[in-house]
Structures are given as structure tokens and as C-alpha cells.
Amino acid sequence: MLLRFSRIAFRSAVSSPEPSFLLFKPLALSIRLFFAGVLTTGFAASAYAQAQTETTQEVSDGTKKLPAVTVNAKSDSDLPPPYAGGQVARGGRVGLLGNKSVMDTPFSVSDTTSQRMEDLQAVTLAEVLNRDPSTRFTGQIGGVTDSFFIRGFPVNEGNLSEVAFDGVYGVSPNYHLFTEYLERVEVLKGPAALLYGMSPNSGVGGVVNVVPKRALNKDLTRVTMDYASDSQFGESIDLSRRFGSDRQFGIRFNGLHRQGGTPLDNQKSRAEVGALSLDYQGERFRASLDVIEQYQWIDAPTRPFLVASGIQVPSAADGRRNVTQSWGWWKSNDISTLLHAEYDISDNVTVFADAGGTKSDVSRLSDQTPTILNAAGDTSATPQNWKFQINRSTADTGVRAQFNTGAVKHAVVFQANVYQDRIASASNSGTTVLSNIYSPVASPQQYISAPARVPKVSSSTLSGVALADTLSMLNERLQLTVGVRQQHVQSDNFSATTAARTSSYNESAATPLVGLVVRPWQNVSLYANYIEGLSKGDIAPAAATNAGQVFAPYKTKQQEVGVKLDMRGVLATLAAFRITKPSGQLYGTVYSVDSEQRNQGLELNVSGEPLKGVRLLGGVTLLDATLTKTNSAATLGNRPVGVPTWMANVGTEWDLPWVPSVTLTGGINYTGREYINQANSQSVPSWTTVDLGARYKTTLYGKSTTVRAGLLNVFDRKYWSGVTSYGTISLGAPRTVFLSASMDF
């Protein structure tokens, strides 16, 4: 429905000043249902307060800052404003603690704005996060999923999305997130089990939270056309309206259609997205409803490579080369929904609740992960016809309260939540195909039948309760946050042929948090934290003498200290951290939890506008990562798979003083060598890429217009990238041209 509406809305915006209301019936029905629910709560009788605050919300063109519709400073919908230069925000979501200023957050965080995403011409989440010096994209350009390493630990690998949507897991589209409907991309670095609950796939390196676009205070109708080499064309629309006697009702709709050839050989892709956000902002009651539907179709989707043992990794091929057969394809359809509501019982007590979920249907017929066989780059792969059905749901409720005990202020939050997922999958295999990474070989098309049935193969339930208190003293110059979450993990695996349960897991664990912020001066913040992450424990395999033994959830522990500086338009964070993550392995014939990876390092992140018209965004990360406990003397003390020693990003923007409406942009991205096996006998070398761009803002026919141009990988560097935790590698993106033009009507 939303995809159909996106096409209708785009045609109406560009061709008809008065769109036919018959075409808007699907949207109108959704609006009526949402607002009817709001009104029947009885809370909507509360008068809307036009509270004027210092908070501002930036329209995405980056040229104006408008007063936000802010009715309650405690509301999760009140986004912190952009920092100097507009590329990052002054704060963001800190899980159940709600929105906090960067300077009052006892963690290293980054909060990318929609303006930055637009100026990057970022297509999906991958292009946004790859500019963070602590984060690296480990998927493939032209591939089927966005996966990452944060602080050297994998996040979002597999078929369960670990990206939080407006603060909760289980809602974001499962494989790719398009930037058209994103207002912010927030990264909290390090484990965060207390703040967000256990991650669905046990990721502990950090949490990526995306904030959807919501209605602005000023009406907006923006149409954007874009192009990417070799022949990828797209068009999108962004509609924002507020209405009602006090403009308390809001609608934001983002629609996208993009298709055509990509820079990769034989590859074409198509994407259609419809994202609808409804909200109500009352004096005491606030609610929002987000619905996203997105469809993707990729011909000849890329897959990561395995490397045969005992050989050196061959030099990277041209990034345009694609060994996937031209007759391969991948299709996905995601429908995501999230309902949020909060009510102020009094000036100091707020109750809140969320409910939502995602349904993902995926089918693909393509090469399964190819294996590089030798130094000449020959590959072997088996095409398979797969079907996946993934259902996820989430619900939570809680209360926030503020009160004083003498000179100490308290901000207490209690939350109870439950997350569930179900994966069904099946596949049929074809016959082996041989190719080469330098000169791909076309093989005859194979007609592999689709699976006749798609049985459930796994399900899990993550539930818990959490309590946290932030105590502040001395005019909030001293802030101490303490809390604990009791997490329960239940999961089952099933036989695809008999549907019988093959293994079952049912365990609980408590994860604490202690965070301290000291602000000796207004523009300086010293912080420290101890926090834990949680991963599902193992079940001893059949080969072990203790086969079937169920181990408690693994606790990843982080200690971190840092300093933050906000001065003269520059925001800088320097952090030192240590993260230890346990795991299980066979020791002789006994399976035990006696393995450990330790990542420790330094991070420096800098952003802002040190000089008028000159903006900086980037930083550097030094990682000392070690396998501190293993079941083999040959791997003890080695570097973990996929973890480089150095990562660095530098991004700059310069508003030309003699041509005020022209901005030049540039970026340098560096990643150090990464091993692809625990023996450290195979690795991919370090790589550096350079990006350039420009944008021009003007007025055409009285309409605000922005034209952007970008060149990715300017020198067409050939490199391996995307080393995953299970040792696969991917080719880096080739030189790619991006163009776009947007106009506000």
C-alpha cells in the first residue's frame, strides 16, 4: 500500500497542484485510524501547549533552523538540535535513559543528522556508518545486507537485524535501511545490555539506533532526483504537514523509487520505499505511528568470498568485477510498524509504551558464498534457491520519574520489555559453477526449483526488566548513573524435515551499569563507565563428552574513561576503553567457556565548524585486540579475525567565500590490515580511499534548490574490504559517480 502511495504522491507533487483525494484513500484510512485511536484515549482533550524552548529542529536543506514543536522536555520525541555545521547532533538516544546531551552522556557516541546523510548522498546505512572511525562496513557493495564491526566486534551479521528503531529492537527493516526516511543515525559505542536489552543476534560492539523522520513545524514538499553510475536513476518525495487547531497533528511521508544498472558487471537493482509517520503532540499525551514498506530486487547480487586454507589471499580485483552469475537474483519485502505513546501523569512522572514488529520475506537464486581456490583467483560456488520468512515483534512499557532527595536530583526509569523472533528458511541446490575474480566466467543458467515449503528453523524470546537512576548534584556538574537489567533468554532450534525441536535454551542473567560524568567547566566533560553486554550461551555439541550442557549467557564487560570538549564550534571526544568477550570452545573432548577476546584502544572523534564556512568531521581509532584465551597454543595471543590496528576518517567541507552558494567536500578513509583466520596466516592489506564532492544551493522559479555531485573512490583503488567475524572478504567499491538535485515546492 505504501509503495503504491509513494508513486502516486510523487506524480501528484510534480504534476498536479490539487491532487485527487481518491488517490490518497489508503493514506487517509491509516491517518483516520491513528488519530481516532489518539482521540478515544481521552488524553487528547488536553490543550496543546505552544511551549517555546531553545530547542530547534533543522529542516533538511540545512539553510534554516525552525522552532520545534516541543511540548515537554521529557519527551523522547524532542531531538537534541544539530551542532555547529549541522553534520552531527548535540545529543541523542541513550537507550532507556532517553535523549541526553553528548556532554551529559557517560559513553562515546556519534549522532549523524539527515543533513549529513543528504550531503553524503548516502543510499543506505552502510555509507553513513563507514564514515565513523570506530565502525566499518563488512558487507558487500551490491550485496544483500548491511553488517558492521564496532570497536572490533560484529554487529548485524546474519538474518536478524540488530539495528534499533527509535530505541527498540525488532522494528527496523531487516537487511537494508534507506536514508530517505531517517532523521538521525545514532551510534553508542560498546556493549549496552542495560540500555537497550540484549541484542537479537548477540552483538556487543555497540548499538546503532535510527530515528525516523517526523513532521516538521513548517510544511515541506521536497522532490529529489538522483543518479549513480552506471545507470541508476531514482526519484523521491518528502512531504511534511502539521494541522489541527494548535497544529498538534503531524504527517510525514517519504517515498522512493530507484532502479537501473550499478557499477558492478551484470548487476541491476530496484528499490521502492514508502515510509509514513503520524504523530500527535498534546500537552500531556504524545503518540506516534511509523509504518515502512520497502521492496528490493537485485540481479546478480554480490556475495562475500571464503578463502581456501593454505593459500595467500590474492590481490584484489577491480571492484567492478562480479563473479555472481547474471541469471542470479535476490528479492526482499519488509513491512515495519511501531506505535509509541507516552503520558505525563504529573509534571515529574511519565508513563510510556511501545509496540511494533517487522515481517520480512526474502527469496534468492544465486551463488552461495564462493570460495577462492588459489592465488590465480579461481573460485567455486554452488547456486541455491533460498526462501526466508522472518517475523519479529517487540513491546515495552515503563515509567520515568524525577524527584529530589535533599541536594540530589534523581531521574529514575523502570522498563519491562519482550522481543520475539521466528525464522523459517529452506533451500534447493544446483550444481557447482567455476569462475575467477579477475575474469568472471559465465555459466549456463540453472533452473533450480524453489522450496516447496518453508519450515520454521528457529525462534527466540528475549524479555527483561530494567531499573536505572541518574543522580545529579552541584547544579548537574556531577552525574552518577546506576542501573541493572534482569534478562531472560529463551530460544529453540527445529529440524527442517521433521519440525522436531533439536535444541533448546532457557537462561537468565543480570547486567549492571555504572556511569559517571563530571563537568569541572561548562565546556569540559570527564566521564567513565562500566557496562556489560549479553550474548546467548552455547549448548555443548554432540562431539563433546558433556554434550547438551547449556551454558549461561556470556557477559561482555567494558571499562571506559574519556573526556569531551565543546569549544569554539568544535566538539571532540577522546576515549580509552577495554572490552573483554568470553566464548566457548572444545578443550580436548570437553566443551567449556574458557576462551576470550580482549579489545582495548583509544578513540578520537572531532566534529564541528572551527572556522566560518569550514566544517570537519572524523577521527581515528587505535585497536589493540588479542585472543587472550584459546584452545590452541598456535592462536593464543593472535589478533582476532577482522580487527585492524588503525582506522581513520577525515571529512571536510568548505564554503567557497567568493561563491557563497558553492560548497566543496572531501574525505579520506583508512583501514589497517585485517586477518581472516585465527592463525593469522591469511590477511588483507590496509587500504585508503579518497572521496570528493560539491554542492550548489540556489533558487529556481522561486523554489529552493540544491544540486549535489560526488565521486567515491576517486583514484579507483582496488582493495579487499568487509572482513566478517567468520572470515569472509569482499571487494571494495569501484570509482562511482553520484548526482542529485532536490527542490522544495
Confidence of residue 2 (pLDDT cuts 50, 70, 90): low
Q: What is the pLDDT of residues 93-146, one digit of tens each?
A: 999 999 999 999 999 999 999 999 999 999 999 999 999 999 999 988 888 888
Decide if pLDDT at 490 tops 90: yes
Please state the domain count of the chain. 1
Say what the pTM is. Answer: 0.89
Domain for residue 266, yes or no? no
Confidence of residue 487 (pLDDT cuts 50, 70, 90): very high
pLDDT of residue 288: 97
Domain for residue 79, yes or no? yes
Cα three-residue angle 91-97-99, rounded to 5 degrees: 25
SS3 (DSSP) at 204: coil
SS3 (DSSP) at 3: helix
Residue 129 near residue 647 (C-beta atoms within 8 A): no
| Spatial separation of the C-alpha atoms in residues 324 and 330, rounded to whole Å | 11
User: Can you give the CATH number for the domain in which 681 is found?
Assistant: 2.40.170.20
Domain for residue 259, yes or no? no
Lowest-pLDDT range of 142-151, 399-408, 575-584: 142-151
SS3 (DSSP) at 14: helix
| Spatial separation of the C-alpha atoms in residues 222 and 626, rounded to whole Å | 49
The predicted model gives 202-216 an average pLDDT of 96
Q: Tally the residues of the chain.
A: 745
Q: What are phi and psi of 128, to 5 degrees?
A: -75, -50
Confidence of residue 455 (pLDDT cuts 50, 70, 90): very high
| Nearest alpha carbon to residue 109 among 83, 127, 85 | 83
Q: What is the pLDDT of residues 654-686, one digit of tens each?
A: 999 999 899 999 999 999 999 999 999 999 999
The residues, any chain, with a CB within 8 Å of residue 328's CB and separated by 6 or more, are: 299, 300, 301, 364, 365, 366, 367, 383
| Spatial separation of the C-alpha atoms in residues 335 and 332, rounded to whole Å | 10
pLDDT of residue 587: 86
| More confidently predicted of 502 and 221 | 221
3-state SS of 592-648 is EEEEEEEEEEEEEEEEEEEECCEEEEEEEEEEEEEEEECCCCCCCCCCCCCCCCEEE
The residues, any chain, with a CB within 8 Å of residue 657's CB and separated by 6 or more, are: 613
**Residue 85 φ/ψ region, left for φ over 0, alpha for ψ in the -120 to 50 degree band, beta for the rest:** left
Domain for residue 96, yes or no? yes
| Spatial separation of the C-alpha atoms in residues 232 and 621, rounded to whole Å | 34
Sign of CA dihedral 203, 621, 122, 118: positive
Domain for residue 340, yes or no? yes
Domain for residue 326, yes or no? no
Task: At 75, list the grid cell.
Answer: 519527551
Decide if pLDDT at 514 tops 70: yes
The predicted model gives 73-81 an average pLDDT of 71
The predicted model gives 55-84 an average pLDDT of 53
Question: How many Cα atoms sit within 13 Å of 177 on the Cβ side?
Answer: 30
Domain for residue 255, yes or no? no
Q: What is the pLDDT of residues 321-367, one digit of tens each?
A: 999 999 999 999 999 999 999 999 999 999 999 999 999 999 999 98
Q: What is the pLDDT of residues 241-251, one digit of tens each?
A: 999 999 999 99
Domain for residue 324, yes or no? no
Its domain, for residue 191, covers 2-245+271-319+331-744
H or E element that contains 563: strand 554-567
Confidence of residue 497 (pLDDT cuts 50, 70, 90): confident
Characterize the bridge pairing of strands 163-165 and 206-212.
parallel
Q: What is the pLDDT of residues 16-64, one digit of tens each?
A: 333 332 333 334 444 444 444 443 333 333 333 333 333 333 333 344 4
* 203: number of Cβ within 10 Å: 28
